[in-house]
Amino acid sequence: METPEAYDLKAYPTCKICDRGTLMPRKIRRLSGPAVAIGYILLIPLILGMAGCAILLIVSLLAGVAGAAHGSAFATAFAGIGAIAFVYIGTLSFVFGLVGWLLIMKKHVLQCGYCGAVVDAAAAVHSQPNRSFGRASVFGFFFLFLILVAITVVLTHKGNTPAQPTPDNSTAEPAQPDAWQPFTSADGRFSVLFPETPQQSSQPSNGANDEEDPGMGTVYMFSANAENSNISYTVSYSDVAPDLVKALSPQGLMYKEEEFLNAGTTVISEQNINLNGVPGHAWTDTVSDGINSSNREFLAGNRLYTLMVVAQKGYTATHADQFMNSFRIQ
- How confident is the model over 274-326, as pLDDT tens digits? 999 999 999 898 887 889 999 999 999 989 999 999 999 889 888 999 999 99
pLDDT per residue over 36-91, tens digit each? 888 788 777 777 777 777 777 777 767 666 665 555 556 566 666 766 776 677 77
Considering the entire predicted model, what is its pTM?
A: 0.47
The structural domains of the chain, ordered by start, are 4-160 (no CATH), 181-329 (3.40.1000.10)
Please answer whether residues 274 and 251 qualify as being in contact, where contact means their C-beta atoms are separated by less than 8 angstroms: no
Give the span between the Cα atoms of 96 and 46, in whole angstroms.
Answer: 7
Q: Which residues, including other chains, have CB under 8 Å from residue 317's CB and lie 6 or more apart?
A: 231, 292, 294, 309, 310, 311, 323
- Residue 127 pLDDT exceeds 50: no
How many CA atoms does the CB half-sphere of 202 hold within 13 Å? Answer: 8
Residue 183 carries which side chain, given as an amino acid letter?
A: F
